[in-house]
Each structure stands twice: as structure tokens, then as C-alpha cells.
């Protein structure tokens, strides 16, 4: 049932090209000029009735929500707030019929997410679930559902659910932008053409895990690892750090690169591994200057960037490159080496990859 892989997690990492393909392909129009979400029957009036969107989720799904905020704000220009479900429930958020609440959950059974959904419905908000399990509690309770077609995810550490959540929030943002006409046909075509290429590109990022295995062996016994990035790279850094801590038990922290000097830089000393994501043009130079500050303290920097980048290599110790795509979509590629790094670090340390200590796949109790 593990299809020849040693663990479900590795199998599921390798299933990502198919999972992403199944989730996006039926939803892109043949001419790449629009997104088809037959599950939603929205029009401009309906969309304009929302003054605000909340995205509510836990763990990895919350990290997908952060990317969703970026996509929706950037493409559809609607304000979005992202909340951790267990916090959202208890902080009396301001919600009414002009609010859209999007919940994201792989299992569709996470108790905090489900409770947040019920509470927001009670307050009159419209609700939309993004989930992987057909007929799950969250799917049944929400007003509308968009399914991720990742297939069953068995490993406790979420991988293919995350990438399919990312493409789903991307499709949703494009759908909204299309309705609001705040994206040009040229830009739509450009993005959807790139989106079609993603499954094959994810495949390519999986082709040669050897450099990552080497890093895992080399740094697998370090006590701390830091992940840094800005903008979308920061969102992916958060997910990379979560993956590493949950399955390898290495203490990992993700920081917005610009936030380092407000405290964490004190922990950056000789030999500490720092994974630096640098893919976003608008903040690239800023990230580079943060990397230089880190190198000045003799930490080890592993940079992650796109194939066409030839400058990062000059200021880091190692570079991992992913295929070129639009910078909005690159999180789908940069997260893959981070998943593999967590996997191989866990193997190096002899951890039970599919069933990490103290964790359950579906958190149905508070
Ligand atoms: C981490 C992980 C968890 C889940 C979280 C939410 O790898 O899997 O953080 O993402 O428990 O679960 P769902 O998406 O089922 O609501």
C-alpha cells in the first residue's frame, strides 16, 4: 500500500504532481483565460457584498491560508485576515453577513476549525470550505465546498494536502479576480499557462534528492535550524519549519527575514543552519542583506531560489534551485525540498516518520 516507498510520507510527497494535476486541470479553461469553479455560482454582486474575508485553519492548513491571503489580496483586492482556528473561536471576531469565512482542512474533521465554522455561520457569515475529504463534517456544514483532489493522506505530516490547498486558494483568487475584472486577460493567460506546467515542474524538483539527503546527514544532528524568507517565502518558511520539527524533532523556527534583528539574530551563531528562501523579486535585495548579516556570524546558509537566479550562490554556502515559474506560484516548488529535508532529517535521526510522537492525523478533541 506504500507503493514501493518506505513511508507514506515519501509516497505522498511523490504523489504531489498527480494531486496538483487532479486539483487544477479540470478547473482551467482550455484557452487559459478563466478558472472554472462549477462548485461556486458567484457573481459580482455577491462578491462585492463581502467587505472582508477570514481564512481560518490549523497547522499546515493555516500556512496554506497565509498564502491564500497573499493571493486573494494581490489578485482580487479584497482584504483578508488569516486566523488560527483555536484562537479565532475565542476572540470574538467582527463578523456579519458581509463577511466570507473560508475554512481550510485536509481531514474536514478538525474540531477547532469545525467549531469556528459553526460559530461564524451562527453570526451570519457566508462560509466556504476547502477540504480533501468528501462528506466530512466541515464539508457538510459549510455553505459551499471546494475539494482538493489530493487523495487519501495517511502520513501525519501533511504534504500533498498542503500543495493542493495552495493551488486551490490560487484558483479561488483567480476566480474572484475574474469576476471583479481586476486582472487582465493577458495576466490571466500567463498565470494559468504557468499553473498548467506546475505538476511536471514538481516532478522535476523530486528527481534528484541526493543534495538534500547530504544536507540532512550533515545537519541532522544540529539542535536548531532557522528558516527565513520575506513575503510568500516567509509563508513557505513557516511550513518548512513545522515539517522539520514535527517529524525530526529538531527545534526549528521560521522568521520573516526582516524580523531577525528584532531578537532572533542573537541565536544565529557559528555553524547554525539557516535555510533562506529568496524567490520574490520585490524583496530580493532585502533578503540578501539579511543573509549577509547571518553569514557575518558564520552560520551555514542553504539558499533556495529559482533556476535562473545566479546571484544567491555568491552569498550562501549551498543553493537548491527549483524550476522557473511565476513568483506567485513558486511556493508550490520551494516547499518540496523543505518536505524532503524534513523527511531525510527524520530518517537520519531514526524517527518514526509516518507517526511522530504525540501527534494524531486528525485532531478531533480540543
Ligand atoms: C502538519 C499537519 C497538521 C494539520 C492540522 C490541520 O503536518 O498535518 O498541522 O495541518 O492538524 O489538519 P486538517 O487540515 O485536517 O484540519
What ipTM was assigned to the predicted interfaces of this complex?
0.99
**pLDDT tens sequence across 199-215:** 999 999 999 999 999 99
Q: Which of 12, 55, 108, 110 for mutating ligand 1's site (highest number of atoms within 8 Å of CB)?
A: 110
| Mean pLDDT of the region 274-300 | 97
Residue nearest to atom 11 of ligand 1 (CA): 59
pLDDT in tens, 86-124: 999 898 899 999 999 999 999 999 999 999 999 999 999
Among protein residues, the one whose CA lies closest to atom 7 of ligand 1? 157
Catalytic (active site) residue 2: no
CA 63 – ligand 1 centroid, Å: 10
Q: By alpha-carbon position, which residue is closest to atom 8 of ligand 1?
A: 158
| pLDDT of amino acid 79 | 98
275 within 8 A of 269, measured Cβ to Cβ:
no
| pLDDT at res. 142 | 98
Cα–Cα separations (whole angstroms), residue 133 to 122, 147, 290, 302: 23, 7, 41, 36
Q: Which distant-in-sequence residues (6+ apart) come within 8 Å of 187 by Cβ? A: none
User: How far, in Å, is the centroid of ligand 1 from the Cα of 181?
Assistant: 34
Distance between CA 328 and CA 280 in Å, rounded?
A: 8
Selected catalytic residue, list 2, 118, 197, 361: 361
Centre of ligand 1 to C-alpha 195, Å, is 25
* Ligand 1 pocket, CB under 6 A: 58-61, 105-107, 110, 113, 157-158, 242, 246, 362-363
Q: Is the pTM of this model over 0.95?
A: yes
Question: What is the number of the ligand 1 atom nearest to the C-alpha of 113?
Answer: 16
**Mean of the per-residue pLDDT values for the chain?**
96
Q: How confident is the model at residue 12 (pLDDT cuts 50, 70, 90)?
A: very high
Amino acid at each position: 500500500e506504500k507503493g514501493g516507498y518506505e513511508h507514506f510520507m515519501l509516497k505522498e510527497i511523490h504523489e504531489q504532481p498527480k494531486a496538483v494535476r487532479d486539483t487544477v486541470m479540470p478547473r482551467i479553461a482550455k484557452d487559459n483565460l478563466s478558472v472554472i469553479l462549477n462548485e461556486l455560482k458567484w457573481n459580482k454582486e455577491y462578491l462585492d457584498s463581502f467587505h472582508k474575508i477570514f481564512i481560518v485553519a490549523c497547522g499546515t492548513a493555516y500556512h496554506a491560508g497565509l498564502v491564500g491571503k497573499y493571493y486573494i489580496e494581490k489578485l482580487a483586492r479584497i482584504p483578508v485576515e488569516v486566523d488560527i482556528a483555536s484562537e479565532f473561536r475565542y476572540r470574538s471576531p467582527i463578523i456579519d453577513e458581509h463577511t466570507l469565512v473560508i475554512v481550510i482542512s485536509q481531514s474536514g474533521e478538525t474540531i477547532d476549525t469545525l467549531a469556528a465554522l459553526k460559530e461564524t455561520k451562527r453570526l451570519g457569515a457566508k462560509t466556504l470550505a476547502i477540504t480533501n475529504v468528501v462528506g466530512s463534517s466541515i464539508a457538510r456544514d459549510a455553505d459551499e465546498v471546494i475539494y482538493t483532489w489530493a487523495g487519501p493522506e495517511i502520513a501525519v505530516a501533511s504534504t500533498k494536502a498542503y500543495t493542493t490547498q495552495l493551488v486551490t486558494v490560487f484558483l479561488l483568487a483567480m476566480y474572484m479576480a475574474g469576476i471583479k475584472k481586476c486582472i487582465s486577460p493577458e495576466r490571466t493567460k500567463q498565470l494559468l499557462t504557468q499553473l498548467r506546467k506546475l505538476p511536471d515542474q514538481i516532478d522535476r524538483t523530486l528527481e534528484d534528492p541526493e543534495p538534500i539527503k547530504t544536507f540532512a546527514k550533515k545537519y541532522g544532528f544540529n539542535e536548531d535550524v532557522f528558516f527565513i524568507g520575506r513575503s510568500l517565502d516567509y509563508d513557505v518558511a513557516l511550513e518548512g519549519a513545522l515539517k522539520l520539527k514535527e517529524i525530526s524533532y529538531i527545534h526549528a523556527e521560521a522568521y520573516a527575514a526582516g524580523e531577525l534583528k528584532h531578537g532572533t539574530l542573537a541565536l544565529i551563531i557559528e555553524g547554525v543552519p539557516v535555510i533562506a528562501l529568496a524567490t520574490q523579486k520585490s524583496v530580493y535585495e532585502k533578503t540578501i542583506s539579511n543573509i549577509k548579516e547571518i553569514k557575518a556570524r558564520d552560520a551555514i546558509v542553504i539558499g533556495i531560489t529559482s533556476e535562473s537566479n545566479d546571484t544567491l550562490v555568491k552569498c550562501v554556502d549551498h543553493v537548491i534551485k527549483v524550476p522557473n515559474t511565476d513568483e506567485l506560484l513558486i511556493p508550490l516548488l520551494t516547499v518540496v525540498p523543505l518536505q524532503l529535508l524534513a523527511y531525510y532529517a527524520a530518517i537520519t535521526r531514526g524517527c518514526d516518520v509516518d507517526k511522530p510522537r504525540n501527534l494524531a492525523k486528525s485532531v478531533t478533541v480540543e
